Structure 1
Amino acid sequence: MDMEREGGWGKRLRACLYPGFSFLCLLWLALRSGRKPSRLRYPCQQAAAVHASWIIAAAGAGMVRWAYKGKGGRRRFIAVPALVLVASLCVAVGGQSGVEAVGREVPDLEEAGMRAASLSPPAWTGELSDGSHDVFAVTNVPVPAAGNPVHAGVDALIRFLDEGGVSFYRSAADYPGAGPEGIISTDDVVLIKVNAAWDQRGMTNTDVVRGLISAVLRHPDGFTGEVVLVENCEGGPDYNQVHNNAEDARQSFQAVVDSFGDPARVSASSWWSFTDEAVYEFDSGDMRQGYVLLGNNVSYPKFVTGRGTCVSLRNGVWTGSGYDKGRVKLINVPVLKSHNATGVTAALKNFMGVPSIHKTVNVHHDLIYQGFMGRMMNEVIFPDLNIIDAIWVSPAHPDGPAGPYSKAVRANVLLAGKDPVALDWYAGKHVLYPISGYGRHDPDTPYGEGTNPYHDGTRNTGYPYNAFRVMLESTASVLRQGGRDVTLDPARMTVRVRDLNVGLRWSGGHCVTGVDSPGTEWHFAEGTTREGFEEWLCLQNPQGHAVRAGIDFMTGEGEVTTHSLELAPHSRSTLHVNHLLGPGKDVSASVRAEVPIVCERPMYFLYNGAWSGGHCVSGVKAPGAEWYFAEGTARGGFDTYICIQNPQQQDAEVRITYMKGDGENSQQGLTVKGESRCTVNVASFLGRGDDVAHDFSARVESTNGVPIVCERPMYFLYNGAWTGGHCVSGVQAPGAEWYFAEGTARGGFDTYICIQNPQQQDAEVRITYMKGDGENSQQGLTVKGESRCTVSVASFLGRGDDVAHDFSARVESTNGVPIVCERPMYFLYNGAWSGGHCVSGVASPGMEWHFAEGTTREGFEEWLCLQNPQGHAVRADLAFMTGEGEVIPCEMELPARSRVTLNVNRVLGPGKDVSVSVRASSPIVCERPMYFELRM
C-alpha cells in the first residue's frame, strides 16, 4: 500500500514537472522581455516561448469556451480583444520559434576555430589617411598569468597605440604610452564601458578589463583619480555572473573590482539599478541617481561613484558649483560577436548599454536604420578610446548576441581606435567575417535581400542581410551631423597590426668579465622575481669531484630563504630563482660552497612591460665597506638603481656620493637592515634632466664599517629606439689601470668608456685601443677631480664593419691618480636584437678566467673576447663544461697587443649549456658577451 502511494505521488510529481517548467518559461519571457518587445528575437526568449506556447494556446481555447458558455455579450466583449492579444503573442513568438539555422549550420565551429587560430588581419596605410581613423590590432595575445592584474596584451596594445601617435597617459614622463596630449590624466574619473548584459563569451573578457584597470592605475605620474566599470546591464546587476568570460570562469566583473581592494579607487556602477528613475541634472539641485531623458529614445545616466563623485555622462564631474567635463574619460570595451539583428556587436552596438533600457522602443530598427547610437554618442561624452575584446569571439548565428562557451572560438586579438565606425568596419570585415565565413559579418557584402531564407540558406532574422552595413552608414551619418569625423572608407584608415608572437619576444644582450679564480663565497646584491623578470643562478664546478653549495636569499624585509644543491664534477648547474622563491620578491643572494666554485646571475626582463633585455653579473667574493661605479645617469630614457646587500646581522649605515658630470657632488644617506637588501631609485633623489648634471659616477660607503655588497642595474630606451638594461657589480677601490677585452665601433653598436675620478686631483688619462687587425691607437684626456667623463669611442676611432673597428682597451692614469672605469655598449645586434651591456674594467690581466654562464641554445649567440696586452703572442686553453659533465677543449693563439673573438656557437654547435675556464701562458683579459631573443 505504501509503495503504491509512493508510486502515485511520484507519477503526479513527474506529471507536474513540465507544466511547471513551462510556467517558469512564461514568467521568464514576461520578466526578461519587459517593455522591450524586440527582445522576443533573442535566442533565450525564443526557447522560452517554445516551451510556454502550449500555455498560451490553452489559455486562448479556455477563453473561447468561457466567452460562449456564458449568457449575453459582455464575455464576448472582453474575450475578443483578449484573444487578439493572445494571437499577437503567438505570432510574435511563433514567427521566430526556431533557433536553428535553415540549411547549413552557421558557422562550422571546428572550421571557425582553425580560421581563428591562423587569423592574420591585414595592415595598410590609406592614401587619404590623416591619423584620425587609425586602427590598431595586436594578435596572438598571450594567456594572462593567474592572479596577476597586468595583462601583456593590454600593455602591448597601449605601447602600440603610443607608437602610432595615440598616447594612453597624459604625461611628460619618458614612459611607454605617455605623451603630453595623452588620454588619461592623473586625477581623471575613468569610465570603462563593458558588456555585462550576457554571460560566458557574450560578455567582455574580465581578464582584459582587469589588465586595463591595472594599466590606468600605473600612470607614470601616479594615479589619484578613480576607475569605474559602467553598464546599464539590461536585465539586472550582472556584475556577479557565475559563468564569466575569463581564463578563470569564476572571475566576475565584481571580483575584478574587489581584487583592487579600494572601492574609492576602483568601483562599479550598475545603471540598471535606476533605469526607471527619470531625473534632472545635478545643477538643478536634483542629486538623485537616474536617467535624464532627452527624447527620441535618447537618455543618459547621472550617478555616484564608489568615492562619492557625482558624474553626469553628458556634462562630466559635478563639483558642487559646476561641471568638469574634462576629468571624465570614457573607454568603450565591447566583446566582438555575432548579433542576429545588427549582424555584429562591436563598439557601436556596445553603446546600447548606455541608455535606460526601459525608456527605449523599437531599438533594433532604430539602431540599424536611424543611427540610434550616433544620436547617443552625440549627446553624451564621446568615447576617448574604443578597445574591442576579440580574445574569444562568438561567430555562431543566430545565437548572437548570446555567446555560450560551446559556440565561441579563441582568436587572441585586441583591437583599438578612436573612430568607432572605422574600428567596427575593420573588426567585422577582417576579424569576425574571416572566422565565421558568414556574409552578414562583412560590411561590404553585396547582398541586401530580406528573403527567408537568405541566399546562403540561413533563416531571415527580420532585418536585411546587410544590416551591419546599414547600421554603420546610418550611425556614421548621424555622427557627422554632430560634428564627428568618422569613416567607412579604408582609404582614410591606416591599420597597424602587431603579432605578439614576435612582439613579446625579449631580445637583448649581456656581458661579463670572467673571475680570475673560483671561490668558496659569492655575493649578489640584485635579484627579483617580480612580474616581467626571470632570474637565474649559474654555478660552475671546475673541480674533479662533486661539491655541495648553499644559497641564502635575502629580501628587503629581512626574510632569509636557504636552498642547497649538489654540483657534479666539471659541470655547470642552473637554478631558476622564480620557481624556487615564487613571484614578487626582491632578493639578494649569498652562495657558499665547500670548495671553490664560480657563480653568475643572469636575468631576463620586460621592464615596466615595455623594455625587454637582460643583464648578467659575476658574483663578488667578499663584502666591502666601499664600492665605486663609474657609470650612471638620470637622463630621460634611463632608469638607474643602486642595489645594496647587507649580509651581516648588524645594520649598515650607508652614504652614497654622486659625482656628477658638471663637477658638483650630492650625497644621500640610508640604513640597510642586517641580512636584507635595499634598492635606491637614483632619479627619485637627483631628479631628471637631459644634461651632464644628471650623468654621475657613485661611491657607496658603509660609514659604520659594516661590509656590504653593491650593484647598479640600469634600464633604458636608448636614443628613443633600443630597449634593454645592464648591470655591474661595483669595484672596491680605484686603480691606476683598467682593462676591457670587448669593444667595437661597427655599425649598430655605440660603445662608451666612462671614467670616474673620485680624487680631488685631476687625472691625466690615456686610452690604448688594441684592435682586431693588430694595430693600436691612443687617446688622451683629463678627468677633473671628483667628477666623471664619458668617451664615445666611435668619435675617436670612426666607424667600420671590419676587424679594424673591433678593439680591446687599456685605460691608464698616467699621473698615478686612481680612477674607476666602465664600458657600456648599446646595440642593435644583427639589425634585429636591441639592448645593451656594461662591465667594470679589471685592474690587471690574469693567467686564468672563469665564466659560469653560457649557452648555444636556439635564440642565443655566445662569444668570447680575449685581449692580449703583452708584447708577444700568448697561447690560451679553453675548457667548456656542460651540464652533463662533458668537458670540451679548445686552443687559441693570441697575437701580441691585440684582441681575438671566438664564436662559441660555431665551436660547440647548437643546444649546449656551458661554463668555460680559460688558462693562458701569459696574463690576458677575457669577457663573454651574449646576445639573445627569448620567446616568453
Structure 2
Amino acid sequence: SVSTATEWYLPEGYTAGDFDTWVMAMNPSGDTVDITYTFYTNDPEAEPVSVTHYGVKPWSRDTIHVDEIEGLKGTEVSTKVTATRPVKLATAEGEEPQMFAVLFAVEDYPEGEDLLYSEDDLYDLKHALVDRCGFSYDLMRYCTAECATVQKFEEAMSWLAASAGPEDTVLFFFGGRSSKDGENRIHLYDGEISQTQLAAHFSDLATEKLVALFSCDNSGEIAQALQGPGRLLLSACDAGEEAHEYPEEGFTIASGDNGNGAFPRYFVEALGKKAADLDGDELVSAEEAFDYLEEKVTDLVQARSGEDQHPLMFDQVEGEVELTAQEVPAQIVAERSVYFNYNGIGDGHTSIGACQVYPNWFLAEGYTGGSFDTYILVMNPYDVQQKLTVTYMTPEGEPLVKEYDCPPRYRLTIKVDDQDSSLASTDVSVRVEACIPESAGFRPACAGGVVVERAMYFVYRDPGDGSLKAGGSCSIGYGSW
C-alpha cells in the first residue's frame, strides 16, 4: 500500500475580517478513521482547541471551516491534523504504556547455510506491531541482511536499555541461524551473539514485560536458558528441533512475501484473529498468541515435512502481556485553503501541510517592495517555549539575524516588512532555527522543532503588458534536521 502520513501541520490560517480558512483532510484508505483538528492561536494564554470528526468514511474527503469553530473567529490560527483508526480487538481502558521493539533477521549469510524467509518474517511482524498493536516506528529498531551486524545489534540493545522503563512493554525478535559451540549462539550477518551476551543484554533492561521471540533451530534450549522474572520467551521449536519455513504463496502473511517460517507466521496471524482471543475479553495477549499458534505449527510441520516442531513458552511475567491496541494512527493527507479580501484584493491560496516538525526551515521566496507584504508563520506544537533565530538574506549578501520567543502551543506571525528598515523594500529569503532553552527542562529528540510557512499578499503591475495583478500566495517551507 502507498504510505502517506499520520499527522500534518499547517501554520497559516486567519479568520478575521474578510478571511475564511478551511482545512481539508483526505482518507485515502479502506478504513473508517477518526480525524482530529487541533488549532493553535496567537494568544499565549489560550488553550488549543480540538475538534474530532468521528467515523470519516473510507476513500473520502473531510472538511472543516475554521471560522465557524467556537473561540476561533477573528484570530490567527495554525492547525495540526491527526487521525486514528480502530482495530478489531480493543485494549483495556487506561493509559497505554510505551511499547518498544528490537527486531533482527538474516537470510543470506556471507558464509555457510542460508535461510529462506526470516527477513519476510521480520517485516510481517514489524507491520503487525504497528498496524494492530500500537507500536510506533520511532520506538523500534530493526535490521535485516547486511545491516544486521553485531555492532548494530549492540547499539539497538543499548538504546533499548536506556529507553524502556519498568512499565513499558518490550518485544524482541530474532530470525536466523543458530549454533551451539559450548553454549548457544545466534548468528548475525557478520558475527555471533552468545547466550551469555544475550543474558547480559536482557538483564540490562528495566522492563517487567519482555516478550522475546526466537525463530531459529534449537530455539527452545536458547529460550529456556534465558528465563527470568519479567520475561516471556517464545521459541519456534524445542531443543534439537528445526524451525521450518515454507514457500507456498498461500502461506504468506503480506503480499509480496516469498514465504514464512511456520512459527512467526502463526504468531503474526494471531495478532489479528478473533479466534486468538481465547478468553473472550476482546484482547489478544502474547500468551494467547502462543496458545493459538502452538498446535497449528506442530500440525503444519508434521503434515508438510513429516517432522516434529514444538513451539515452547517460558513465562515469568506477572499477569498477561497484552499486545493489542484500541486504536492506532491512521494515514491521511491534509491541505488548507484561505479565501480573502486583503486591502481590497480578492483572491485565495491553498497549501499542502507538512508532516514533520523540524528545527530548521528555509524559505527562498519573499518580497517587501511596493504593495507586497511578506509574512513568516511559525507553529510551535510543543508544550514548551522555543527560541527562534531568524536569518533574513537579501541580494546584498549581508544577512540580518533576529531572535524571537515562541510560546508553547502557539502561532507566531512575523511581518518581514516591519522587522528592519533594510527589509522594507527588497527581495528576501529566510531561515528559521528553533531551539528549546536548557532552562525549560525538557528536550524532545530533535532538541527543538516548529513548522514554518510563508504567505505573501500583493498588488503589482505586470512589466510586460502593464496590467495590474493582485492576490496572495502561500507555501510551506523546506524543513531539515
**Does the pair score TM above 0.5?**
no
TM interval, shorter chain, is 0.3 to 0.5
Highest Rg: 1 or 2?
Answer: 1
- Normalising by structure 1, report the TM-score: 0.23
More helix by share: 1
